[in-house]
């Protein structure tokens, strides 16, 4: 690959040698069609930054990076460790090909594997590393934040998530440690033997140096190091007519710009938080799970949390006003068509786990977003339609089935009136075995029932 005159953008860091740099928290994430190569500094996407990034913006980043990868772009990821926010979103979720990141105490011997990759000179500066990569994969859980914005993306995502035989994952190790573990790799995908994506290149950060040195080294390899002589400090001590006034005006305008940007960012954040509730009607997987999390907080369950490991139930709520159940165990499922009996079985398994291993009686709650692509509210009947076998399974096991559109309506009612008591919601969910009645969760405001909190 010839790397002269390539347009290079930098995400997550600043450097004057890049053709453009983009911060994680700038208001609008740009289209990535223009650059030939993108450098993504994942070391700067810390848990604190992840907490501040709204789901919509994170999904926009993941989708645009994935589209760039699918359409032939090269993306270089600088990795040091995995960072997560409280709801499980990770900096590694932006990577188009998933992998396991295994922490090592310290490694020093980097064995570069000969290849045609332009990035190999980078390893001359890598003297230490603290992880190795394994389990490269495309699966149901890969690219869970990527939205199918066009037919190509949707097709590739479906093939990846179904692990279709038409899709081949190509992994070329670029460097290994003494044990043969991969510490850097180039990944791409091939479909049906001929169509091939761009490349995702995973590099370790140059240890014990600021991450900017990793960026500088990559830019230098890409021919982006500019030789420009800086002016000496003493020239700025010489008076120049109009310069003082220009500096003062710039300062005033920057202050006004900052105040306006802060106000815009605040309003955008409010807008994004509200629009996230629409995901209760149209999403699945992690985006739907996060929308359920935000919804339960809105309706009064501030303590919704994860009690066990990520592969177990999605969320847990506490029953504060009831004695016969300690927790509600929530399983969240979204589907293009309809949810399945296996989803109810999964929910029942979590209930059994608590009883068997913790001697705790919990209420199973399945939140279903079936027929998610059908426009709402016209699809309300479909979203509430469950097979008799599913109801017969749920009722004797005490599982409460709640279509996520009903949670959406409850959020709307709460935002408008804030009159629904948590005790009423707990009582209604706890006594429902099978499919919940339409509208019952916010019927309290109509009938005037006021359970004591």
pLDDT above 70: residue 250: yes
Report residue 409 CA to chain centroid gap. 25
Per-residue pLDDT at 233: 76
> Are 419 and 283 in the same domain?
yes
Per-residue pLDDT at 406: 95
Residue 226 lies in a domain: no
* Cα 340 to Cα 335: distance, rounded to the nearest angstrom: 9
- Of the two residues 453 and 95, the one the predictor is more confident about is 95
Residue 267 lies in a domain: no
Banded model confidence at residue 105, pLDDT cuts 50, 70, 90: low
pLDDT digits (tens, 9 = 90+) for 354-396: 988 888 899 999 999 999 999 999 999 999 999 999 999 999 9
327 beta partners: 318, 362
Alpha-carbon distances, residue 36 vs 152, 157, 411 (angstroms): 20, 23, 44
> What 3-state DSSP class applies to 321?
coil
Residue 148 lies in a domain: yes
Per-residue pLDDT at 226: 63
Banded model confidence at residue 33, pLDDT cuts 50, 70, 90: confident
pLDDT digits (tens, 9 = 90+) for 402-442: 999 999 999 999 998 877 888 999 999 999 999 999 888 87
Residue 410 lies in a domain: yes
* Cα 170 to Cα 184: distance, rounded to the nearest angstrom: 14
* Cα 261 to Cα 26: distance, rounded to the nearest angstrom: 10
- For the chain, report the end-to-end CA distance as a whole number of angstroms: 67
pLDDT digits (tens, 9 = 90+) for 4-14: 678 999 999 98
Residue 430 lies in a domain: yes
Residue 251 lies in a domain: no
* Cα 203 to Cα 77: distance, rounded to the nearest angstrom: 6
> Are 193 and 109 in the same domain?
yes
Chain-wide mean pLDDT for the chain? 87
pTM exceeding 0.75:
no
Banded model confidence at residue 445, pLDDT cuts 50, 70, 90: very low
Banded model confidence at residue 450, pLDDT cuts 50, 70, 90: very low
Query: What's 193's DSSP letter?
Result: T
* Cα 414 to Cα 339: distance, rounded to the nearest angstrom: 27
> Are 207 and 293 in the same domain?
no
Residue 240 lies in a domain: no
> Are 322 and 421 in the same domain?
yes
Question: What is the residue range of 129's domain?
Answer: 8-221
Residues 6+ apart with CB under 8 A from 158: 164
* Cα 202 to Cα 78: distance, rounded to the nearest angstrom: 6
* Cα 89 to Cα 51: distance, rounded to the nearest angstrom: 9
Minimum mean pLDDT range among 54-68, 77-91, 139-153, 289-303: 139-153
> Are 338 and 424 in the same domain?
yes
Banded model confidence at residue 23, pLDDT cuts 50, 70, 90: very high
> Are 177 and 30 in the same domain?
yes
> Are 216 and 283 in the same domain?
no
Which of 176, 194, 221 is at the close of a domain? 221
**Crossing angle of the two packed helices 388-397 and 341-357, in degrees rounded to 10:** 10
* Cα 10 to Cα 35: distance, rounded to the nearest angstrom: 10
Maximum C-alpha span of the chain = 87
Per-residue pLDDT at 295: 94
pLDDT above 50: residue 144: yes
> Are 208 and 107 in the same domain?
yes
> Are 308 and 180 in the same domain?
no
pLDDT above 90: residue 1: no
> Are 212 and 344 in the same domain?
no
pLDDT digits (tens, 9 = 90+) for 155-193: 888 888 777 888 899 999 999 988 889 999 999 999 887
pLDDT above 90: residue 401: yes
Report residue 347 CA to chain centroid gap. 24
Residues 6+ apart with CB under 8 A from 428: 436, 440, 441
pLDDT above 90: residue 231: no
Say if residues 33 and 60 touch (Cβ distance below 8 Å): no
**How many separate domains does the chain show?**
2
pLDDT above 50: residue 453: no
> What 3-state DSSP class applies to 40?
strand
> Are 187 and 329 in the same domain?
no
Residue 243 lies in a domain: no
Percentage of the chain exceeding pLDDT 70: 93
Say if residues 97 and 199 touch (Cβ distance below 8 Å): no
Residues 6+ apart with CB under 8 A from 356: none
Which phi and psi (to 5°) does residue 393 adopt? -75, -45
pLDDT above 90: residue 308: no
> Are 296 and 169 in the same domain?
no
Q: At 393, which CATH number?
A: 3.40.91.30
User: What radius of gyration, in Å, describes the C-alpha atoms of the chain?
Assistant: 26
């Amino acid at each position: 690959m010839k790397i002269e005159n390539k347009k290079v953008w930098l995400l997550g860091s600043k450097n004057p040698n890049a053709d453009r740099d983009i911060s994680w928290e700038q208001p609008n994430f740009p289209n990535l069609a223009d650059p030939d190569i993108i450098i993504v500094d994942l070391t700067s996407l810390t848990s604190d930054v992840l907490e501040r990034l709204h789901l919509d913006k994170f999904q926009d980043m993941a989708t645009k990076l994935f589209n760039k990868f699918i359409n032939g772009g090269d993306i270089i990821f600088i990795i040091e460790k995995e960072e997560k926010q409280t709801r499980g979103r990770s900096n590694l979720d932006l990577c188009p090909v998933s992998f396991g990141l295994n922490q090592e105490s310290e490694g020093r011997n980097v064995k570069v594997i000969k290849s045609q990759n332009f990035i190999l000179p980078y390893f001359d500066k890598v003297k230490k590393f603290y992880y190795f990569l394994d389990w490269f994969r495309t699966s149901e859980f890969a690219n869970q934040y990527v939205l199918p914005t066009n037919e190509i993306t949707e097709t590739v995502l479906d093939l990846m998530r179904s692990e279709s035989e038409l899709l081949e994952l190509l992994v070329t190790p670029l460097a290994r440690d003494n044990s043969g573990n991969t510490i850097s790799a180039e990944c791409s995908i091939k479909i049906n033997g001929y169509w091939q994506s761009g490349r995702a290149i995973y590099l370790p950060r140059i240890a014990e140096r600021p991450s900017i040195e990793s960026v500088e080294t990559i830019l230098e390899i890409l021919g982006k190091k500019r030789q420009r002589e800086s002016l000496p400090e003493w020239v700025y001590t010489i008076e120049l007519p109009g310069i003082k006034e220009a500096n003062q005006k710039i300062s005033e305008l920057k202050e006004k710009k900052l105040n306006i940007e802060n106000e815009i960012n605040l309003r955008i954040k409010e807008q994004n938080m509200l629009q996230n509730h629409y995901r209760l009607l149209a999403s699945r997987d992690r985006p739907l799970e996060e929308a359920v999390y935000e919804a339960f907080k809105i309706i009064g369950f501030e303590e919704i949390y994860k009690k066990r490991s990520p592969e177990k139930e999605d969320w847990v709520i506490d029953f504060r006003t009831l004695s016969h159940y300690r927790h509600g165990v929530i399983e969240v499922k979204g589907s293009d068509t309809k949810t399945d009996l296996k989803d109810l079985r999964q929910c029942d398994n979590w209930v059994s786990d608590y009883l068997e291993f913790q001697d705790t009686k919990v209420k199973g709650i399945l939140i279903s977003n079936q027929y998610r692509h059908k426009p709402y509210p016209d699809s309300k009947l479909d979203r509430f339609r469950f097979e008799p076998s599913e109801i017969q399974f749920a009722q004797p096991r005490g599982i409460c089935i709640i279509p996520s559109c009903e949670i959406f309506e409850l959020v709307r009612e709460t935002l408008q009136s804030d009159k629904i008591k948590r005790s009423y919601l707990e009582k209604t969910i706890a006594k429902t075995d099978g499919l919940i009645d339409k509208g019952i969760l916010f019927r309290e405001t109509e009938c005037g029932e006021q359970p004591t909190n």
